[in-house]
Structure 1
Amino acid sequence: MEHTTHTTHHTRRPPAVVRTRVPRPSPGGAAARWHPRRRPAAGPGARGPGGPRRPRLTGLGCGVLTTVGMVAAAWFCDLLGGAATFYGVLSVLTSAAAALWVRPADLICAPVAAPIAFAAGLVTTAGPVDTVTELALRAPWLFAGTLTAAVIVLLRKAHALLRARLRRRPPVRQSPPAG
């Protein structure tokens, strides 16, 4: 008897294909052509009925947006003679835009990027030495922008958690009327 290292080859059946989607006729009207039903786009970046896709930023994109926005705001305010209030308002608006546009997986990046971008904008116009003084003088605007981003991010996260919880909850059955 000869010994081999190979196991006996058994003919296997291919695994059964499980179809999880309901087939429907294609839009062309040909009844012979069927394709799985497409799930409607869901999620925060989904296209609404007839509307365009909302922009979604990654964490890096959020930081780039706020930094570029604040550097441009600093240069613009420098042209206006150093309008500190206008720079602060633009900081709050830029922080809010970043918090609204960042994707749900990177929500933490918006409140972190806001103060970094605020300081980066000041460095480009005031220089590294005067930036510390400018940060101290404009601290309320710095905190307002950071707080705006943090509140928007917290509200978005709470809304997403609530929506997920409601989606998981089984439907409530009403008892039949007594009588």
Structure 2
Amino acid sequence: MPNPRLTGLGAGLFGSALMCALGCLDLLLFGASLTVYGVLFLPACLLTALWVRDADLLSVPVVAPIAFSVGLLPLAGGDGIGARLMGLVTALATQVGWLYGGTLLAALTVLARGLRRVAARRRNPARRQPTPRRDPS
């Protein structure tokens, strides 16, 4: 299993691209089923939360709803910008349970990773030693 370390921006791009691809796939295979899209959103949130760097953990719960919205663009039906925007708002309103669930899953994964990181620091205090400062003169 690959173990990439995404930055905050990389996590946003990865999540958005993945959800857009999954939205297009859902449109082609399942006829724009929003339930299928919501179910696919959960593992996408989990992957994004697992692959982000430790320094950028707090960006994942912010990125998840943005990725959900970007992925809904292919599924929001309508002719013209106004109708597509209305379809997007309607899909966001009706699928808010999946949105909250995926964001909560990402936040809990980030919390678990952060707690594991703190516990590792407590077990190995040698890693926390400050680096000596140089005199500017």
Residue equivalent to 2:3: 54
Trace 1:82-93 onto structure 2 (pairs within 5 A).
82-93=32-43
Q: Aligned to 1:141, which of 89, 98, 121?
A: 98
Distance of 2:2 and 2:74 partners within structure 1: 34
Distance of 2:2 and 2:106 partners within structure 1: 22
- Compare 120-129 and 93-102 and name the one that shifted more: 120-129
Residue equivalent to 2:31: 81
Q: Aligned to 1:150, which of 107, 114, 117?
A: 107
Distance of 1:135 and 1:55 partners within structure 2: 30
Trace 1:7-18 onto structure 2 (pairs within 5 A).
none
Distance of 1:83 and 1:53 partners within structure 2: 30
Percent sequence identity is 42
Q: Structure 2: where are the runs of 5+ without partners?
A: 77-83, 127-137
* Bigger proportion of residues as helix: 2
How many angstroms does 1:165 deviate by? Answer: 1.1
Aligned length: 118
How many angstroms does 1:76 deviate by? Answer: 1.1
Distance of 2:38 and 2:2 partners within structure 1: 30
Provide runs of 4+ in structure 1 moved above 3 Å.
none
Q: Mark the structure with the bigger radius of gyration.
A: 1
Distance of 1:66 and 1:167 partners within structure 2: 33
- Cα RMSD over matched residues? 1.5
Task: Answer whether contact 2:5 2:53 (CA < 8 A) is retained.
Answer: yes
SS across alignment from 1:121: helix
Trace 1:113-152 onto structure 2 (pairs within 5 A).
113-126=63-76, 127-152=84-109
Structure 1 residues 157 and 124 mapped into 2: Cα distance closer, same or farther (>3 Å)?
Answer: same
**TM-score normalised to structure 1 length:** 0.63
Distance of 2:67 and 2:41 partners within structure 1: 9
SS across alignment from 1:108: helix
**TM-score normalised to structure 2 length:** 0.81
* Higher RCO (C-alpha 8 Å, min separation 6): 2
**CA deviation profile, 1:108-167 (whole Å, cap 9, x unmatched):** 111111100101111233122211110111011001110010000000000000110111
